[in-house]
């Protein structure tokens, strides 16, 4: 998927589900469920030994069945790891911190890159390196009003909040009310009880409900 299409998909849906899934068969069923629920983005987090092997199978499945799904990789902390996942078909790369070596690699390959930042200076630096959307992380450590204060002198900045995002109307209204363009959501959406029970129908329903609640929050509801 082209980088501009990836960014537009994130901006349109304003929600990026994320999880590490060690079992390839279960990972594919989770993707099937969130796609059926209407989501068109997914961030597979690089958090386990051999995670790239699972991602390889997942990417093949998406290329064959869901060409309009933006499949990315998160928790990438160095350029060699980013290069590995790009070679396997990652549509975008997400980092928990600002790793400057990843920027030229993604830019050269026209791959979406969303680095984790926590200060105005880090965000400004990420943008100067080509980041169109910057991840503010961890969101649960961000003081109320931080994003709106940041955007006052920098209204062109696009912020995705990850960490501390929950499937609660008040929580979602906070982030979108302050001006975030998207949120990343892990356990709030891909709940451990649903994953353990292999309740993929439940994940599908929750995905659809998440889309509805995000839309309402963006509209101030």
- Asked whether the predicted pLDDT for residue 73 surpasses 90, the reply is yes
Domain of residue 8 covers 3-215
Query: Is residue 36 included in any domain, yes or no?
Result: yes
- pLDDT at residue 220, rounded to an integer: 87
Please count the structural domains in the chain.
Answer: 1
Flag whether pLDDT at 221 surpasses 80.
no
Mean pLDDT of 119-129: 97
**How many Cβ atoms from other residues are within 10 Å of residue 25's Cβ?**
11
Q: Mean of the pLDDT values across residues 32-61?
A: 98
Residue 178 lies in a domain: yes
Give domain status of residue 220, yes or no.
no
Within a domain: residue 150?
A: yes
Average pLDDT, the chain: 97
pLDDT tens figures, 161-203: 999 899 999 999 999 999 999 999 999 999 999 999 999 999 9
pLDDT of residue 72: 98
> What's the chain's Rg over C-alpha atoms?
16
SS3 107: helix
Please report the pLDDT score of residue 19 as a whole number.
97
- H/E stretch holding 116 reads strand 116-117
The pLDDT score that the predictor gives to residue 215 is 97
């Amino acid at each position: 998927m082209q980088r501009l299409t990836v960014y537009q998909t994130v901006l349109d849906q304003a929600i990026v589900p994320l999880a590490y899934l060690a079992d390839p068969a279960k990972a594919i069923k989770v993707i099937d469920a969130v796609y059926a629920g209407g989501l068109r983005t997914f961030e597979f987090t690089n958090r386990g030994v051999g995670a790239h092997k699972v991602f390889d199978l997942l990417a093949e499945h998406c290329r064959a069945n869901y060409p309009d799904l933006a499949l990315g990789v998160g928790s990438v902390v160095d350029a060699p790891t980013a290069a590995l996942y790009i070679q396997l078909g990652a549509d975008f790369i997400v980092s928990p911190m600002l790793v400057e070596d990843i920027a030229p690699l993604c830019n050269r390959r026209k791959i979406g890159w969303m680095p984790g930042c926590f200060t105005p200076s880090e965000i400004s630096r990420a943008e100067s390196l080509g980041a169109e959307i910057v991840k503010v992380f961890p969101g649960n450590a961000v003081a109320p009003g931080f994003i709106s204060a940041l955007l006052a002198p920098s209204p062109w900045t696009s912020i995705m909040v990850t960490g501390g995002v929950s499937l609660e109307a008040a929580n979602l209204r906070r982030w979108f009310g302050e001006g975030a363009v998207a949120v990343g959501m892990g356990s709030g959406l891909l709940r451990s009880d649903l994953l353990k029970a292999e309740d993929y129908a439940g994940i599908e329903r929750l995905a659809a409900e998440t889309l509805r609640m995000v839309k309402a929050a963006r509209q101030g509801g």
